[in-house]
Chains A and B, each alone.
Chain A
Amino acid sequence: MIFTIARNELRRMFLSPLAWTILAVVLLILAFMFLSNLQYFVMIQSRLLSMGSDQGLTAVVVAPLLGNAAVVLLLVVPLVSMRLVADERRNKTLSLLFSAPVSMTEIVLGKYLSLVGFLWLILALVALMPLSLLAGGTLDFGMFGAGLLGLALLLAGFAAVGLFMSTLTQHQTVAAVSTFGVLLLFWILDWAGQGSGASGILGYMSILNHYEPFLRGIFDTSDAAYLVLFILTFLMLSIRRLDMDRLGG
Chain B
Amino acid sequence: MSDEVLVEVEDLSRFYGAILAVKHINFSIRRGQVLGFLGPNGAGKTTTMQILSGNLAPSTGRVRIAGHDLLEDPHGAKQAIGYLPEQPPVYRELTVDEYLDYCAGLNRIARSQRRAAREAAKKKCGLSDVGRRLIGNLSKGYQQRVGLAQAIIHLPPVIILDEPTVGLDPIQIREIRHLIRELGKEHGVILSTHILPEVQATCDQVQIINKGELVLNDSIEGLSRHMQSSALSVGLRNTPDLDLIQGITGVKSVQDQGDGRLHVFYDPAIDPTEALVELAVQKRWGLYELQPQRASLEDIFVHITTEEHESLTGAVA
Contact = CB atoms under 8 A, between A and B. Distances in A.
Interface residues of A, number: 24
Dominant secondary structure at the A interface: helix
Contact of A101 (B75, B86, B90): B75
A101 B89 contact: no
Given A12-B93, A249-B15, A103 B87 contact: no
B117 to A, nearest CB: 14
Interface in B4-20: 14-17
B268 interface: no
A212 B57 CA distance: 45
Contacts of B54: 98-99, 246
A247 B98 CA distance: 31
Contacts of A133: none
Contact of B89 (A1, A5, A95, A249): A95
B273 interface: no
Interface in A81-136: 91-103
Interface in A1-16: 1, 4-5, 8, 11-12, 15-16
B56 A93 contact: no
B106 interface: yes
B229 interface: no
Nearest to B111: A4
Interface string B49-61: 0100111110000
B89 A4 contact: no
Interface in B79-97: 79, 81, 83, 85-87, 89-94
B98 A11 contact: yes
B78 A101 contact: yes
Nearest to B134: A15
A106 to B, nearest CB: 10
B106 A15 contact: no
Contacts of A247: 57
B107 interface: yes
A102 B87 contact: no
B78 A100 contact: yes
Contacts of A92: 85-87, 89
Contacts of B87: 91-92
B44 to A, nearest CB: 12
Nearest to A100: B106
B106 A4 contact: yes
A249 B16 contact: yes
Nearest to A15: B93
A22 B106 CA distance: 29
A99 B75 CA distance: 9
A84 to B, nearest CB: 13
Given A99-B83, A101-B108, A12 B89 contact: no
Contacts of B89: 91-96
A249 B59 CA distance: 11
Interface in A125-167: none
A249 B78 contact: no
Nearest to B162: A95
A16 B106 contact: no
11 contacts: A11-B98, A12-B91, A96-B106, A99-B54, A99-B78, A99-B83, A100-B107, A101-B106, A101-B107, A246-B54, A249-B16
Given A4-B102, A96-B89, A101-B74, 5 more contacts: A8-B105, A12-B94, A92-B86, A98-B53, A98-B54
Interface of A: 1, 4-5, 8, 11-12, 15-16, 91-103, 246-247, 249
Interface of B: 14-17, 50, 53-57, 74-76, 78-79, 81, 83, 85-87, 89-94, 98, 102-103, 105-108, 150
